[in-house]
Structure 1
Amino acid sequence: MKSAIFRPLLEIAAVLFLVLGAARWVTGLFSKRTHVYQTTAARQMRLLFWPLLALGAGLSVVPAVAMGGEPAASTFVWLLTAGFVLFTLLLSGPALLLHLRYWTLNHETTLVFQPANNLLEVYEAGQRVAFERRDLARIERVTCRARRSFWARYDYLRLHLQDGRTVVLTSLLTDLEPLATFLRNVPTERRAVAWCWG
């Protein structure tokens, strides 16, 4: 009975995933490269795909055990279920926390970056953060040391201005390595940490 319900749902999800992926690929061929970066849903899903999949796998076990064929699941089965849920939370939890932290830092941030035209502008809540490249005192480039974790793609760039202000740009906006390369003449402190809490 259960497989009769879930199988068509899984087939529909797989077909939708393939159709949307193909449509994104085709539109990417003909679209103009953007130079304006914001926290888009597509970028967020690219970062959150594996953590959410792991969390969903962990949480999907609980209803399966609760509605299992046995009248009451044994204590051992519940301990195994709790252990599996805890394991998936340990895998996906840090990435979800980082995502929330980065979203609070950059959900109202817009980055305009066009290296060919020597253009770098940052907007917070629609207002331009006034600075030029010569106003940058130093840069902190923080990347994740744990390359095989779900939170490995979360990193940030902290721009320290001469007047004491700081601007934090996270990987929720875009890949930050081209921006760090663009600003290579500014003194840069590069650090690799286990968990990039901005």
Structure 2
Amino acid sequence: MKSTFLRPLLEAAVVLFIIIGAARWVTGLFSKRTHVYQTTVARQMRLLFWPLLALGAGLSVLPAVAMGEGPVSGFEWGLTAGFLLFTMALSGPAVLLHLRYWLLNHETVLVFQPTENRFEVYEAGQRQTFERRDLARIYRVTCRARRTFWARYDYLSLHLHDGRIIVLTSLLTDLEPLASFLRSLPTERSVQAWCWI
């Protein structure tokens, strides 16, 4: 019974994954390289793929044990709870970081083209007016834990002379080229186990 319910869902997910991958490949052939970065579904799925896969694996065990044939022993419930907690510990921090970064940057658009010395930030369609000389300092935070699901979540905080702070997260793009572009400014680098803002 379980396999008759889960098999069509799995087949639909595989077909959807193939269609999205093929559409992305075809559109990539005809599009030119962009210098405008924002939170796209493709970027979010690239960051969330493994955390969501682990979370799905952990959550799939619970209904399998609960709807299984015959009584379930306390030992089996203990193993199920342990596996569920383990997968939550693996994927939970990445999902929390993703939600936090999305709240910060879902309306942010970054226009960055270093060859033309172009660097602009838009919040909710409004350009944040500042020049490079208006930046007092840069705060760059990267993740120390390289082999975790949340290792690719990092952020860059731009502190302006007028007191404004603009936060750019890894949901927009890879921030290392931007940090290199701003290297002439005073930069404070921090390496943390978990890059919470």
The one-letter amino acid paired with 2:36 is V
Distance 2:122 2:19 in 1: 35
The one-letter amino acid paired with 1:62 is L
Which residue does the alignment assign to 1:47?
A: 47
Q: How does 1:88-167 map to 2 (within 5 A)?
A: 88-167=87-166
3-state SS of 1:175 partner: coil
Percent of counterpart pairs with the same letter?
79
Structure 1 residue ranges (4+ consecutive) displaced by more than 4 angstroms after TM superposition: none
Which residue does the alignment assign to 1:73?
A: 72
The one-letter amino acid paired with 1:111 is L
The one-letter amino acid paired with 1:45 is M
RMSD: 1.4
3-state SS of 1:77 partner: helix
Distance 2:16 2:103 in 1: 31
1:60-100, Cα deviation, whole Å (9 max, x unpaired): 11110011011x21111111111111111101111111111
1:173-195, Cα deviation, whole Å (9 max, x unpaired): 11111111111111111221100
Q: Report the alpha carbon displacement of residue 24 of structure 1 after superposing the two structures with TM.
A: 1.3
Normalising by structure 2, report the TM-score.
Answer: 0.94
Q: Report the alpha carbon displacement of residue 36 of structure 1 after superposing the two structures with TM.
A: 1.4
Which residue does the alignment assign to 2:17?
A: 17
Distance 1:13 1:93 in 2: 22
Distance 1:41 1:22 in 2: 15
Which residue does the alignment assign to 2:181?
A: 182
- What 5-or-longer segments of structure 2 have no aligned partner? none
Distance 1:118 1:12 in 2: 45
Distance 1:20 1:39 in 2: 17
Distance 1:189 1:117 in 2: 26
Normalising by structure 1, report the TM-score.
Answer: 0.94
1:80-135, Cα deviation, whole Å (9 max, x unpaired): 11111111110111111111111111112111111121111111112111100111
Q: How many pairs were matched up?
A: 197
